């Protein structure tokens, strides 16, 4: 990986941009800056780059302390945990009202629900059309312009390489803004969440979708998690952007021609880069004293059982936790002989609790858990155990104990829990996996597939997984583990940089 970075970048800085950064700041009782490691999957995936190559990371200021140092990155201390010394951090200072519209009106409810095809929640969340347009102009558009302005300042520095990588759905418009004054930059945008077909985008104003597609096509490379997302993006561009053409290169990769005036290369490479995990880092945490303590505690709390089903998810409606419990409830109804023999352990991570739809979903989840335990529980057996909180070592400990890992998301760009469960599995576990996840394209052959809305099918899949003979378990697990190890996080990062270098040379 270091060799690839040196070949593509030399000693210059790669510039990346995401809504959340690798570090956020607060002030202690003495008024001194205190650095805290940032949260989120994008941060986790990209932080390893800070140890390998000089890197500038542009992110939104999330705290008052972040805002204070937005114009003086050199003054900010960096945490030692997981963040290398090669990092230069630039915060984008967006005023509070604009930031709220950008993130909490457009990005998280509207784009998130659209791209996960959660149309019922999308319709509940939609404001009046005039209010939506105000949030779009004064929030999303304004914030993306601010990101582009700060990124432009960074790429104009002599120590910066002519490469920029944008991450995720919050920053769809920044590439188009940056391209206007920087036609020679080599730019990439990677979307971590699903990209649905053009019919799903009909739920949003057509002008928004057109502008989003045009901005993404200002990039030289547009990346997604899956081949199906690549095809969906190409179809969306064909429907919404005038003059677009789609072709294939000799290797079968998708090429989308840009509208007139966008950049110099003429086409955008659209490719799948399935994100992954760092197996060595996962095992380092799993082998830690903290994980061992959690494993012992979990075993003591769960009591006696023959089979353990485990899920680890943010409590997001998209994760389909309620439907998973409904399938488990049906399984216990259909198979009363399982009473006292199976336990379902759910580690549920708080998320977006101020959003009404998420708060309602949380209440619905806990009510169903109580209902299942009251209906089926016995004196010495509780069919569902859950923990509400966020602890990575605890999550890995739980996954290692599983006979079955359930991932039944409505839609996921990838789903890294599926891969983490494979790496730490001791028994080994069987993966029951939604066919609507990006992980399905990589892991589906050796998993048991379920449709997220098929309650009876998921109940049957859980039973099939629990009853699977040991030789078949081991064979499936070996294949899954090999796939995850061969396509790890370093492979994902290296493929980005290799393609950026190729495009820059060929342009």
Condensed to tens digits (0 to 9), the pLDDT of residues 435-464 reads 999 999 999 999 999 999 999 999 999 999
Domain identity same for 49 and 190: yes
- Tens of pLDDT, residue by residue over 261-292, are 554 447 999 999 999 999 999 999 999 999 99
Domain identity same for 254 and 352: no
Total count of domains within the chain: 2
In the prediction, which pLDDT does 236 show?
98
In the prediction, which pLDDT does 45 show?
80
Does residue 168 carry a pLDDT above 50?
yes
- Model confidence band, residue 80 (pLDDT cutoffs 50, 70, 90): low
- Here the CATH number for the domain that contains residue 469 is 3.40.50.2000
Q: 273 versus 23: which is more confidently predicted?
A: 273
CB contact at 8 A, 216 and 175: yes
CB contact at 8 A, 58 and 15: yes
The residue among 363, 392, 372 whose CA lies nearest residue 330 is 372
Domain identity same for 156 and 260: yes
Q: Tell me the C-alpha distance between 204 and 320, whole Å.
A: 24
CB contact at 8 A, 486 and 478: no
Stretch 27-40: mean pLDDT: 81
Domain identity same for 450 and 382: yes
Q: Tell me the C-alpha distance between 356 and 399, whole Å.
A: 30
Ranges assigned E (strand) in 202-266? 221-224, 246-248, 254-257
Within a domain: residue 42?
Answer: yes
- Tens of pLDDT, residue by residue over 226-257, are 999 999 999 999 999 998 999 999 988 999 99
Does residue 82 carry a pLDDT above 70?
no
Q: Tell me the C-alpha distance between 225 and 274, whole Å.
A: 4
Q: Tell me the C-alpha distance between 470 and 17, whole Å.
A: 46
Within a domain: residue 264?
Answer: yes
Within a domain: residue 151?
Answer: yes
Domain identity same for 181 and 283: no
Within a domain: residue 116?
Answer: no
Domain identity same for 258 and 318: no
Q: Tell me the C-alpha distance between 9 and 13, whole Å.
A: 7
* Structural domain boundaries enclosing 57: 2-93+140-276+493-506
CB contact at 8 A, 466 and 307: yes
Neighbour-count burial for 9-33, b at 16+ CB within 10 Å, e otherwise:
beebbbbbbbbbbbbbbeeeeeeee
**178: exposed, middle or buried (Cβ count in 10 Å: 0-12, 13-18, 19+):** buried
The structure's pTM equals 0.93
CB contact at 8 A, 146 and 91: no
The residue among 360, 300, 366 whose CA lies nearest residue 121 is 360
């Amino acid at each position: 990986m270091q060799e690839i970075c040196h070949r593509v970048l030399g000693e210059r800085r790669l510039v990346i941009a995401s809504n959340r950064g690798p570090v956020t700041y607060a002030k202690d009782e003495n008024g001194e800056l205190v650095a805290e490691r940032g949260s989120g999957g994008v941060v986790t995936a990209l932080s390893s780059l800070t140890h390998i190559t000089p890197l500038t990371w542009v992110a939104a200021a999330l705290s008052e302390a972040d805002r204070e140092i937005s114009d003086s990155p050199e003054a900010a201390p960096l945490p030692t945990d997981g963040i290398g010394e090669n990092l230069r951090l630039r915060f984008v200072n967006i005023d509070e009202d604009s930031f709220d519209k950008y993130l909490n009106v457009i990005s998280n409810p509207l784009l998130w629900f659209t791209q996960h095809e959660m149309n019922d929640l999308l319709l509940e969340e939609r404001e009046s059309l005039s209010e939506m347009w105000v949030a779009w102009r004064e929030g999303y558009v304004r914030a993306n312009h601010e990101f582009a302005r700060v990124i432009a300042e960074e790429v104009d520095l002599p120590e910066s390489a002519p490469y920029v990588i944008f991450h995720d759905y919050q920053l769809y418009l920044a590439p188009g803004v940056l391209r206007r004054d920087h036609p020679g930059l080599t730019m990439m945008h990677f979307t971590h969440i699903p990209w649905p077909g053009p019919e799903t985008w009909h739920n949003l104003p057509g002008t928004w979708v057109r502008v989003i597609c045009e901005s993404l096509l200002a990039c030289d490379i547009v990346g997604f998690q899956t081949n199906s997302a690549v095809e969906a993006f190409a179809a969306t561009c064909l429907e919404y952007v005038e003059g677009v053409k789609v072709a294939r290169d000799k290797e079968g990769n998708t090429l989308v021609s840009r509208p007139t005036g966008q950049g110099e290369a003429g086409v955008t490479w659209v490719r799948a880069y399935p994100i992954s995990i760092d197996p060595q880092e996962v095992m380092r945490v799993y082998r830690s004293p903290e994980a061992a303590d959690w494993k012992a505690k979990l075993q003591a709390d769960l009591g006696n059982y023959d089979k353990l089903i485990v899920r680890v998810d943010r409590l997001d409606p998209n994760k389909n936790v309620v439907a998973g419990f409904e399938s488990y409830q049906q399984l216990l109804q259909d198979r009363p002989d399982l009473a006292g023999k199976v336990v379902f352990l759910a580690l549920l991570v708080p998320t977006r609790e101020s959003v009404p739809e998420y708060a309602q979903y949380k209440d619905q989840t806990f009510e169903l858990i109580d209902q299942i335990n009251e209906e089926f529980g016995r004196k010495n057996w509780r069919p569902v155990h859950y923990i509400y909180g966020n602890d990575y070592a605890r999550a890995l400990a739980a996954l290692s104990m599983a006979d079955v890992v359930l991932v039944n998301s409505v839609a996921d760009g990838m789903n890294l829990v599926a891969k983490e469960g494979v790496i730490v599995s001791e028994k080994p576990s069987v993966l029951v996996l939604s066919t609507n996840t990006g992980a399905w394209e990589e892991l589906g052959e050796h998993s048991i597939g379920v449709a997220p809305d098929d309650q009876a099918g998921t109940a049957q899949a859980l039973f099939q997984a629990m009853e699977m003979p040991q030789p078949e378990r081991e064979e499936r697990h070996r294949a899954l583990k090999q796939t995850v190890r061969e396509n790890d996080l370093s492979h994902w990062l290296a493929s980005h940089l290799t393609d950026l270098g190729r495009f820059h040379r060929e342009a």
